[in-house]
Amino acid sequence: RGLRLSAAARSAMPSWVIDRYGRNEVLRFTSGMALPAIRFPNEVVIRVHAASLNPIDLIMRNGYGATALNMKRDPLKLNSTDSEFPLTLGRDASGEVMECGLSVSYFKPGDKVWAAIPPWKQGTLSEFVVASGNEVSFKPKCLSHTEAASLPYVGLTAWSAINKVGGLNKENCAGKRVLIIGASGGVGTFAVQLVKAWGAHVTAVCSNDASPLVKKLGADDVIDYRSGNLEEQLRALPLFDFILDNVGGSTEKWALDLLKKWSGATYVTLVTPFLINMDRLGVADGMLRTGVTIGSKTVKHLCKGVHYRWAFFMPSGPYLDEIAELVESGKIHPVIDQVFSFSEVPEAFLKLEGGHARGKTVINVIDKK
């Protein structure tokens, strides 16, 4: 059937894992993690040169979203162990292909690639990781592995929100007024560059100390949320065609009033109750509650002349191909807050947990630079 096991599966590799959910003390280094095996013909084994951390790694470490992710991992309850542990975190990878499944034709061993691994799969804080071929793309040649590892997960999350959910692209974005709330984090810094590359007028919300960075990335207006009432500052500006909200909370209560009415203007938030509903209410009731919530909000705002949407990360090699083209053309640049060695993964988690990052936290797995 075109299935085979990797010969390397009989060996072991260094990896950072968790055996239970909790705070930073649950992180455990092991040199005896079994190398991943190719189980399907469309998979590839990647040797990870560099990885990076995202907020989802923190919430997964804490156990948030475990109900939904475990359902995705084993929907038919076929796993006899009934446990996701030991679980490897980390979603981004930049490295080289070591082995390909029999149906993989686009890649070969030795290819330099990057990828974002879905959260229901074993992560990238290991020397090797398995990914589906359609989740992988050729790494931009202009970037080192350290630089490249900072982009896939945040890039695909922003791409999902702006392009697939928000409907903006290089053909229709020129001249549109775009507001990005939470512009100095990983997704925010990527989103600023993406819509600016497509010709939008960008207003970014961040703290004052992040303003120089966000302006350098292309933002036309930068609003310091600490300098006064944010809602009042934004209401003083012309209305927007699109809003990307990376912050959520009380922002959602007034942000939609900043959109142009009856013009197709769209508000997209990355902060949703989907995972917490599943954790609190179980799979069936959680999905029902989530459906009712998004449906009622969508209809409520549609009656007011604006679109309300939720967005999520989408793994996609083809979208990474498009992102790579923007990187190669100099329109998208990696924004790295700090780089840690593989032995410093716990410190990297503490750094991310402290908040106020200016870009990404990157882990050199085998690269020294």
pLDDT tens for residues 14-44?
Answer: 999 999 999 999 999 999 999 999 999 999 9
Q: Is residue 294 part of a domain?
A: yes
Whether residues 104 and 145 share a domain: the answer is yes
**pTM metric for this prediction:** 0.93
Whether residues 99 and 228 share a domain: the answer is no
Whether residues 238 and 301 share a domain: the answer is yes
CA atoms within 13 A of residue 107's CA, in its CB half-sphere: 31
- The confidence score (pLDDT) of residue 6 equals 46
Q: Is residue 240 part of a domain?
A: yes
- The confidence score (pLDDT) of residue 72 equals 87
Whether residues 19 and 85 share a domain: the answer is yes
Cα separation, 89 vs 207, whole angstroms = 29
> Which positions of the chain have pLDDT values less than 70?
1-10, 76-82, 367-369
Report strand pairing: 336-341 vs 360-364. Answer: parallel
Whether residues 299 and 260 share a domain: the answer is yes
Report strand pairing: 112-116 vs 128-132. Answer: unpaired
CATH number for the domain that contains residue 196: 3.40.50.720
Last residue of a domain, one of 295, 310, 325: 310
Cα separation, 366 vs 50, whole angstroms = 7
Q: Is residue 44 part of a domain?
A: yes
The per-residue b/e assignment along 158-180, b for 16 or more CB within 10 angstroms, e otherwise, is bbbbbbbbbebeeeebeebbbbb
Whether residues 184 and 119 share a domain: the answer is no
Whether residues 97 and 200 share a domain: the answer is no
Whether residues 133 and 179 share a domain: the answer is no
* Token pair for 305: 């002349």
Q: Is residue 159 part of a domain?
A: no
In this predicted model, what pLDDT tens digit does every residue of 292-348 receive, in sequence order?
A: 999 999 999 999 999 999 999 999 999 999 999 999 999 999 999 999 999 999 999
Q: Is residue 321 part of a domain?
A: no
Whether residues 144 and 175 share a domain: the answer is no
- The confidence score (pLDDT) of residue 68 equals 87
- The confidence score (pLDDT) of residue 11 equals 81
Task: Tell me which residue of 51, 50, 68, 47 sits closest to 59, measured CA to CA.
Answer: 68
CATH number for the domain that contains residue 77: 3.90.180.10
- The confidence score (pLDDT) of residue 281 equals 84
- The confidence score (pLDDT) of residue 78 equals 63
Q: Is residue 84 part of a domain?
A: yes
**Number of domains observed in the structure of the chain:** 2
State the residue range of the domain holding 24. 12-150+334-364
* Token pair for 43: 């998979």
| Residues near 296 by beta carbon (within 8 Å), at least 6 away in sequence | none
Whether residues 174 and 294 share a domain: the answer is yes
Q: Is residue 239 part of a domain?
A: yes
Q: Is residue 245 part of a domain?
A: yes
Whether residues 280 and 345 share a domain: the answer is no
| Residues near 1 by beta carbon (within 8 Å), at least 6 away in sequence | 41
Whether residues 115 and 141 share a domain: the answer is yes
